[in-house]
């Protein structure tokens, strides 16, 4: 992997990741950009203890631009984008409209609760310190991650690992989260194949719940929750979707989404930086197969019909800097589609109470995902 770093016109960092010869990377960003604005603030919900990011400045972010104005395509034919070069393999840059940033927040009267948070336990708040990055998987606007070959998927894995190592070392960062949202149904506003990375100044609420459960399991059994969970799924077998020598993918016993798959390395590690060479080498083929099965789930009935592009969220769960010693690195992949023409909307019990109701049994989902294997 060759890593080349440069700066965009407004000072944001841009990093190219190449698998082979670096093509010079001599292009500079010629856009007349103003420095990015940071009005973010992190507030603690006193009723749940969860941190909520307030980022009012993001209302102005780019929203569903036409393909010929895509900011993630390379700069070509006189059109300037976030990527100054005419082509790239994998590119990562600081988000122009970040929810969190390492620069001190600008003054924002609307985000000020008006009391001294240091002494007001009900209004705990922190500066919106952190970092948000965009990961472009390919320069091909019309592709998707599932269209990549194994070498390119490995390069993306290397980029995720590089950014995890760098971001987790920044002052104030507690957890690094790499993820991809795909599909307008999910809420994606840029169609170009890309993901994001958030460096949070706190452990996310879902991570906090998993940490609590893992600590309880350790106290009750003396064992690690995630090692026991994976071993139980491997022994049962009915929810296993696919498995290799170093990774296992399964539908969780209490899946929240109609089609949800968790992908674990067979050896428990805290984050992407701890994977071995053999584990990294096996990941691309397994992950690409999972994504392609998701696309084949809702393929058209006609013989030879092209697979649909299933909307999904792909989320890497990594241990936070503090208190996450029991957590295991794993990827959670799920779609909001439950049939070819029906979406799983979060209803009142789910959005209001975080109490999920799944219309597809995990065992049936696993069987269907095995049926659509390559």
Kindly provide the residue ranges of all beta strands, DSSP E only, lying in the chain, ordered along the sequence.
2-7, 13-18, 41-44, 51-54, 90-94, 125-127, 131-136, 175-182, 194-200, 240-243, 247-250, 259-265, 312-317, 330-335, 337-339, 342-343
Cβ proximity of 96 and 38 under 8 Å: no
**Going by C-beta distance under 8 Å and a sequence separation of 6 or more, which residues neighbour residue 220?**
none
Active site (annotated) includes residue 192: no
**Going by C-beta distance under 8 Å and a sequence separation of 6 or more, which residues neighbour residue 44?**
50, 51, 52, 124, 125
Per the structure block, which two tokens stand in for 185? 């149904």
In order of 229, 325, 365, the CA distances from 217 in angstroms are: 11, 13, 27
With b for 16 or more beta-carbon neighbours within 10 A and e for fewer, the 259-290 pattern comes to bbbbbbbbbbbebbebbeeebbebbbebbbbb
Q: Report the candidate in 186, 168, 184 with the shortest Cα–Cα distance to residue 176.
A: 168
Cβ proximity of 51 and 202 under 8 Å: yes
Q: Using CA atoms, how far apart are residues 17 and 301, in angstroms rounded to an integer? A: 39
The active-site residue, picked from 57, 166, 192, 194, is 194
Q: Using CA atoms, how far apart are residues 307 and 292, in angstroms rounded to an integer? A: 8
Cβ proximity of 257 and 337 under 8 Å: no
* Catalytically active residues, by annotation: 194
């Amino acid at each position: 992997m060759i890593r080349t770093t440069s700066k965009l016109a407004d000072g944001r960092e841009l990093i190219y990741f190449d698998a082979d010869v670096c093509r010079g990377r001599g292009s500079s960003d010629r856009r007349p950009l103003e420095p990015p604005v940071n009005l973010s603030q992190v507030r603690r919900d006193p009723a749940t203890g969860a941190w909520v990011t307030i980022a009012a400045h993001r209302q102005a972010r780019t929203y569903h631009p036409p393909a010929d104005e895509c900011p993630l395509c390379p700069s070509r034919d006189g059109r300037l984008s976030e990527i100054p070069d005419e082509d790239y393999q994998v590119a990562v840059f600081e988000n122009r409209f970040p929810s969190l940033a390492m620069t001190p927040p600008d003054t924002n009267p609307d985000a000020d609760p008006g009391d001294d948070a240091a002494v007001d336990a009900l209004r705990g708040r922190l500066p919106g310190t952190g970092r948000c990055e965009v990961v472009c998987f390919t320069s091909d606007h019309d592709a998707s991650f599932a269209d990549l070959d194994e070498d390119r998927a490995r390069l993306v894995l290397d980029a995720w690992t590089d950014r995890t190592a760098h971001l987790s070392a920044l002052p104030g960062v507690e957890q690094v989260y790499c993820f991809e949202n795909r599909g307008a149904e999910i809420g994606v506003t840029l169609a170009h194949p890309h993901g994001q990375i958030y460096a949070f100044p706190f452990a996310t609420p879902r991570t906090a719940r998993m940490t609590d459960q893992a600590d309880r399991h350790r106290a009750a059994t003396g064992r690690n929750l995630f090692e026991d969970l994976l071993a139980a799924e491997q022994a049962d077998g009915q929810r296993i979707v696919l498995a290799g020598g170093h990774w296992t993918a399964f539908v969780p016993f209490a899946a929240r989404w109609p089609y949800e798959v968790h992908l674990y390395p067979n050896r428990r590690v805290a984050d992407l930086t701890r994977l071995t060479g053999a584990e990294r080498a096996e990941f691309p083929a397994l992950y690409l197969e999972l994504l392609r099965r998701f696309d084949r789930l809702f393929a058209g009935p006609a013989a030879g019909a092209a697979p649909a592009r299933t909307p999904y969220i792909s989320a890497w769960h990594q241990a936070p800097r503090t208190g996450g010693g029991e957590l295991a690195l794993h990827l959670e992949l799920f779609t909001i589609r439950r049939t070819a023409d029906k979406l799983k909307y979060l209803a009142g019990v789910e959005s209001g109470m975080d109490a999920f109701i799944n219309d597809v049994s995990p065992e049936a989902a696993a069987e269907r995902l095995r049926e659509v294997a390559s």
